Amino acid sequence: MQMNLRATVLTALLVTSVIGAAAAPAATQQAEGEAYSGTFVQFETGNAAVTNYAVDGSVVVDSVRAQSASETEGGIGVDAGASSSTSISGSAVSTRSQGDASASVAFESGTDMEAHDNQRGVVTFTASDGDQVVQANVSGDASSEGDTRVVVQGDDGAQGTFIVVGDGNVTTNADGQVTARVEEDSQLVYRQYNDERSDSEKTQEEMIQNGEATAEVYVYGAAESGEDGEESAESVVTYGQDTNAEVQERSQDRINVTVERTESQGKVLITTVSESAVENAESLEVYVDGEAAAQADSYSDVRAATEGADQSRYMVRQSGSAEAAVDVIVGINQFSERTVSMQSAGDGGEPTATDADGDDMNGDDTDGGDGTDGDGAGFGVFAALVALAAALIAVRTRS
């Protein structure tokens, strides 16, 4: 018996040491603040720059710096043209934190960077203290689409887009240097795509840029997130200061999102749903506060719903930037706090309208009729008897 006890203790010590050794590098990286590695997004931080920003293992931005506009020579970013090649020195990277599916970096000049670990690798740069200049050196060819959007084309055909949300402008030069001047409380946003942007994705960019779409939600399956078990994961992106969004529930047949705004004007919610996270994702139906939203035929219909319409509208489109995923675009007709429920119709039956906690709003029983799980009451008694018998046998063996 002493030999068995000794063997058990040694085994426990060995397991503890292995786990500790495996966890040590991750803890060291977090403490030093030198690298972030999520499911989709990876990057490194230096003294005055964020470097090697990668999406799905491919570096799309070599480096990003930020500096107060008042400290840049001639106010870079105001009249910077395609021939400009003036670089900024950049301010120090002062802090970094990690949360669920995101990582934050603060530049001392007053730029807050939020990297969102999702299929599009969305990253936002917010001018939180005065006007800011954000400058990125990209891996690929960059070209301007007006003065508020720059498109980056990689060697593999993948594209990414820099978008100014709010007040400011962005431009690029022949060397692949992207420079943006972002006025206080405005944002520079970067979105990455696996291939060339579709017309649908271009329209989504326009809605984000114009302030029509103020939140994005990404829901993906456990296989994509690298997590054990069957749980899916999510990432939430908000644009501007007046919108908050949170995923309240996610399951194989339902996603519930609470969206809250300080203003009553309607806005658009964009959700990208992996087909591995929700069954029959292509046939999702949308409810807003328990009431069925009308199905729209076009983005114009979705936009019209936000302009004082009597009913919210939605449409479902195949996502061009994420494999085996759909985009659900919901035009919410009014605010302040709304619950958006995206539900699978399954085999053609009507989905059940639920609230933010997943409770049935129609009064139907969703637990199977008798309030018990699928194993039944008798199964629990049988399991207890088996456990008791095993314990008695173990005691008798030791004696």
Q: What is the pLDDT of residues 166-185, one digit of tens each?
A: 999 999 998 889 999 999 99
Q: What is the rounded distance in angstroms from the CA atom of residue 271 to the CA atom of residue 41?
A: 19
Q: What is the rounded distance in angstroms from the CA atom of residue 353 to the CA atom of residue 341?
A: 8
pLDDT(80) > 50: no
pLDDT in tens, 288-297: 999 999 999 9
* In the chain, % of residues over pLDDT 70: 72
Handedness of CA 150, 212, 282, 122 (dihedral sign): positive
378 or 39, which is more confident?
39
Lowest-pLDDT choice from 45-49, 224-228, 283-287, 315-319: 224-228
pLDDT(357) > 90: no
Q: What is the rounded distance in angstroms from the CA atom of residue 347 to the CA atom of residue 184?
A: 50
* Residue 130 pLDDT class (50, 70, 90 cuts): very high
Residues 6+ apart with CB under 8 A from 309: 266, 331, 333
* Residue 225 pLDDT class (50, 70, 90 cuts): low
pLDDT(191) > 50: yes
Residues 6+ apart with CB under 8 A from 87: 65, 135, 177
Name the average pLDDT for the chain.
Answer: 79
Q: Which whole-number Å values give the CA distances from 140 to 157, 173, 177, 231, in the listed order?
A: 10, 12, 10, 36
Q: According to the model, what pLDDT value does residue 351 have?
A: 43
For 130, other C-beta atoms within 10 Å of its C-beta total 14
Phi/psi at 86 (5° precision): -75, 130
Lowest-pLDDT choice from 87-96, 280-289, 291-300, 304-313: 87-96
Section 311-327 average pLDDT: 87
Q: According to the model, what pLDDT value does residue 72 have?
A: 82
Q: According to the model, what pLDDT value does residue 380 have?
A: 43
3-state SS of the chain is: CHHHHHHHHHHHHHHHHHHHHHHHHHHHHHHHCCEEECCCEEEEECCCCEEEEEECCEEEEEEEEEEEHHHCCCCCCCCCCCCCCCCCCCCCEEEEEEECCEEEEEECCCEEEEEECCCCCCEEEEECCCCEEEEEEECCEEEECCCCEEEEECCCCCEEEEEEECCEEEEECCCCEEEEEECCCCEEEEEECCCCCCHHHHHHHHHHHCCCEEEEEEEECHHHHCCCCCCCEEEEEECCCCEEEEEEEECCCEEEEEEEECCCEEEEEEEEEECCCCCCHHHEEEEECCEECEECCCHHHHHHHCCCCCCCEEEEEECCCCCCEEEEEEEEEECCEEEEEEEECCCCCCCCCECCCCCECCCCCCCCCCCCCCCCHHHHHHHHHHHHHHHHHHHHHHC
Section 213-217 average pLDDT: 97
pLDDT in tens, 233-277: 899 999 988 899 999 999 989 999 999 999 999 999 999 999 889
Q: According to the model, what pLDDT value does residue 95 have?
A: 75
**Residue 149 corresponds to which tokens in the numbers above?**
């959007």
pLDDT(144) > 80: yes
Q: According to the model, what pLDDT value does residue 395 have?
A: 40
Q: According to the model, what pLDDT value does residue 272 have?
A: 95
CATH no., domain 209-363:
2.60.220
* In the chain, % of residues over pLDDT 90: 58
Q: What are the boundaries of each domain within the chain?
A: 34-197, 209-363
Q: According to the model, what pLDDT value does residue 81 have?
A: 43
Lowest-pLDDT choice from 59-63, 75-79, 118-122, 361-365: 361-365
Q: According to the model, what pLDDT value does residue 87 have?
A: 84
Does residue 71 contact residue 89 with C-beta atoms inside 8 Å? no
pLDDT(120) > 90: yes
* Residue 320 pLDDT class (50, 70, 90 cuts): confident
CATH entry 2.70.98.30 includes domain 34-197 = yes
pLDDT in tens, 3-13: 443 443 333 33
Q: Are strands 177-182 and 168-172 parallel, antiparallel or unpaired?
A: antiparallel
Q: According to the model, what pLDDT value does residue 78 have?
A: 45
pLDDT(77) > 70: no
Q: Which whole-number Å values give the CA distances from 88 to 67, 72, 84, 216, in the listed order?
A: 7, 7, 12, 31
Residue 289's nearest CA partner among 228, 343, 236, 355 is 355
Task: Answer yes or no: pTM beyond 0.85.
Answer: no
Q: Which whole-number Å values give the CA distances from 359 to 216, 294, 367, 369, in the listed order?
A: 24, 22, 11, 15
